[in-house]
Amino acid sequence: MFNKGKNGTVSEGQVLDVLKKVQDPDLHKDIVSLGFIRNLKIDNGSVAFDLNLTTPACPVKDQMRDEAIALVKGLAGVSNVAVNMTAEVRQAPQMDKTALKGVKNIVAVGSGKGGVGKSTIAVNIAASLAAQGAAVGLLDGDIYGPTMPIMLGIEHPPKSVGSRMIPIDAAGLRFMSMGLLVKSDQPLIWRGPMAHRALQQCLFDVDWGELDYLIVDLPPGTGDVHLTLAQQVPLTGAVIVSTPQDVGLRISLKTLRMFQQTRVPILGIVENMSYYICPHCDSRDYIFGEGGGKRAATELGIPFFGEVPLDVAIRKQADIGSPIVVAMPDAPSSKVLREIAQKVAQQVSIRSFDAPILEVE
């Protein structure tokens, strides 16, 4: 159906036709229809193109690339295939064009109860995405107990230009925390409206610039900050962090229901403190029970992102202000966290892709 190229060489049409066999397993469409193929160049037997994915943290990018190369190489007259992997995170359709115009996706990280390691997970997800080439912002929205400045080793308050605050660069992220606006040993004793205003400031009065992902770490539970966030910005989705224990999970479900009521898509559940690896004999000990998070995710029909072990290295790196995924990228726990970050990015891509568009006139 396509014209044969001159002198027996392959044509653009033939290349695109064969590339249509490569499916994006998440978006359930072929990579040609999705517009992923860019800058296709054919020079005699050499074929080169960009494969432009929806996130640099795509967990199946190697698989798609290898499949594409194999198929094009199989065409008669092709001797060499060069694929350049690129990524362009798509904007969530309902994203406000005015207030946070450079931010493509906002993802909340929440938990039901405190102390489940929500902030640790959020920092490591954000740092993983940044390490894989995405532009990532991190907002510590836990106004009552901001721990993130410690985890990122930041003590100084943010600078301001005019009325806008400049986020602080740390671990490859642009970071902002309520904890930076008050003295670190001072408790925050605020009523709801103050919390509301503080979060608004951290969202809208910060010069976030261009971001693929803005990760917002929420306080535990279901309170003012959650509602403000759900009302003020169109969240691409929320990640729930829980421990395997039944009690932790049951409370997390409340947070989950709150997001559902405000129509914030639940991207998935991360189970933290899943097991402890004995440093002496390497055996796994499921201190808080096994498989609770996975069961809950299956019951609720939402993705399960993975089990993060109780690992001294994760805690130590957080305490010295250098997240494990950045400081020790090859550690087993870093691998687990990186895979979780990839699954988050994957779900964000899926959500941005099929989210309905609502017109208001």
Partner 1 sequence: MSTGIQATTPTKIKKLSPTELQILWADGHETRHIAQVLRGLCPCASCRDEMTGVRVILPIHIPDTLEFRKIGLVGQYAVHFDFSDNHGTGIYSFEYLRELCPCEACARKETKKP
Q: Which residues of this protein are in contact with partner 1, per CB under 8 A?
A: 94, 230-235, 261-264, 356-361
Q: How many residues does the chain have?
A: 361
Angle separating helix axes 246-261 and 292-300, nearest 10 degrees: 30
Instruction: Tell me which amino acid residue 278 is.
Output: C
Q: Which helix (H) or strand (E) holds 91?
A: none
Smaller CB separation from partner 1, 135 or 230: 230
Q: Pairing mode, if any, of strands 23-24 and 29-30?
A: antiparallel
Tell me the three state secondary structure of residue 174: strand
Smaller CB separation from partner 1, 43 or 361: 361
Query: In 10 A of CB 4, how many CB atoms?
Result: 13
Smaller CB separation from partner 1, 226 or 338: 226
Q: How far is the CB of 265 from partner 1 (least distance, A)?
A: 8
Q: How far is the CB of 193 from partner 1 (least distance, A)?
A: 14
Q: Using CA atoms in the order 171, 204, 120, 144, what is the torsion angle rounded to 10 degrees?
A: 130
Q: How far is the CB of 326 from partner 1 (least distance, A)?
A: 32
Name the E strands within 147-289: 160-161, 164-165, 168-170, 173-177, 213-217, 237-242, 266-277, 284-285
Closest CA to 318 of 173, 123, 115, 109: 123
| CA 108 and chain centroid, separation | 10
Smaller CB separation from partner 1, 170 or 203: 203
Smaller CB separation from partner 1, 91 or 232: 232
Q: How far is the CB of 199 from partner 1 (least distance, A)?
A: 13
Q: How far is the CB of 261 from partner 1 (least distance, A)?
A: 7
Smaller CB separation from partner 1, 279 or 356: 356
Q: How far is the CB of 293 from partner 1 (least distance, A)?
A: 25
